[in-house]
Amino acid sequence: MRGSNANDVNKHSLKVRLMTPNEYLDRLLEAQTLGEDGPELLALRTERERIQAALRAAFGSAPTIRYGGSKVKGTMILLSYDLDILCYFPCEEANSLEDLYDAAGRALEAAGYAVERKRSALRVRSARGLDFHVDVVPGRYFDETRTDVYLHQSDGNKQRLKTNPITHVEYVKSSGCIPEIRLGKIWREHQRLNAKTFVLELAIIEALHGTRGTLAERTKTLFCTFRDAIDRLAIIDPANSNNDLGPLFNSTIRAELADAARRALMAIESNDWERVFGPIGSTSERATARAQAVSRAAALAAPIKPWATRA
């Protein structure tokens, strides 16, 4: 049996090495794509409906509730995916941002969820602690245009953050860097790097600005820029240039990315792309386990309580 496994590994390695770099990257991205009718997105959509029902039970039709993050940007990967649910109240809402944040947390708890309060988001889990991989982001619109949004911040120098999710989505979608951003996220997960998705996206877009070439060529350009010039990359929030992203892209994060990029380029020079991104399809078991965990959590979650009070 051991000999058979070794032969399978050797055959796989030979097959990959016979691919061109672009063939390998294309197949890797295809393997990391979540199917619209696949178990992962079906489980997330089911939970999204339950969460929306809980928020509507508490707040009625007042807030706008919609998808955010990688789901709408088109940058999801099978290896690591989460769902952002945006819950934005109208600008006329009199309650403070902190009150809205706390009220949304209480509404989810009243519906039977366990809630982890993060900086601006509410991580939703089952009462038994199973992770749905869903974040609810409460906020309040800045004005009647329903574009700019204020978010509560539970830590940091400012108690609120002004941003614009529409601008973020359009900035990423129009960047021409969707495949490279997805590869960057796969690389981060495979190499266990610590950069947050938001700043990693911005860094990749900035590093590739004005560049041309095939996917493999642009990926090498990205790693070269991270290795040689990461300290010169200007990471600016496209929705609000006054937002300080420095803590999210500090010297430690930059040094880690630069070192990982150096190692990636060494592997690429040896035509060992798998050492950078991992074998094609190698994450299917982990992804399946995530989807099964979400499904189990949904089955075990308490039903929505119709008596949840309006905050």
> Which of 52, 237, 82 shows the shortest CA–CA distance to 148?
237
Instruction: Please give the average per-residue pLDDT across 129-140, as a whole number.
Output: 88
Neighbours of 247 (CB within 10 A): 11
What tokens does 194 get? 């610590």
Contact partners, residue 248, CB within 8 Å, separation at least 6: 196, 198, 199
Q: Is the pLDDT of residue 309 over 70?
A: no
Q: Does residue 181 belong to any structural domain of this protein?
A: yes
Q: Which of 13-27, 125-139, 168-182, 234-248 has maximum average pLDDT?
A: 168-182
Helix, strand, coil percent content, the chain, rounded in steps of 5:
55, 15, 35
Domain count, the chain: 1
**pLDDT 10s digits, 30-80:** 999 988 888 888 888 888 999 999 999 999 999 999 998 898 999 999 888
Burial class (CB in 10 A: 0-12, 13-18, 19+), 200: buried
Domain that holds residue 237: 2-300
Q: Does residue 306 belong to any structural domain of this protein?
A: no
Instruction: Give the pTM.
Output: 0.83
Q: Is the pLDDT of residue 301 over 80?
A: no
Q: Does residue 311 belong to any structural domain of this protein?
A: no
Report the alpha-carbon distance of residue 236 to residue 177 in Å, rounded.
17
**pLDDT band, residue 193 (cuts 50/70/90):** very high
Neighbours of 10 (CB within 10 A): 10
**pLDDT 10s digits, 166-185:** 999 999 999 999 999 999 99
Tell me the torsion sign for CA atoms 64, 68, 72, 78.
Answer: negative
Q: What's the first-to-final CA gap in the chain, in angstroms? A: 61
Cα-flanking dihedrals φ and ψ of residue 231, to 5°?
Answer: -70, -15
What tokens does 23 get? 């063939």
Instruction: Please give the average per-residue pLDDT across 143-147, as a whole number.
Output: 93
Residue 303's pLDDT is 43
Residues in the chain, total: 311
**pLDDT 10s digits, 199-238:** 999 999 999 999 999 999 999 999 999 999 999 999 999 9
Q: Does residue 305 belong to any structural domain of this protein?
A: no
Tell me the torsion sign for CA atoms 261, 267, 273, 275.
Answer: negative
Q: Does residue 185 belong to any structural domain of this protein?
A: yes
Cα-based angle 287, 293, 296 (whole degrees, multiple of 5): 145
What tokens does 197 get? 């998705």
Q: Does residue 309 belong to any structural domain of this protein?
A: no
Q: Does residue 189 belong to any structural domain of this protein?
A: yes
Contact predicate 255/7, CB 8 Å: no
Q: Does residue 210 belong to any structural domain of this protein?
A: yes
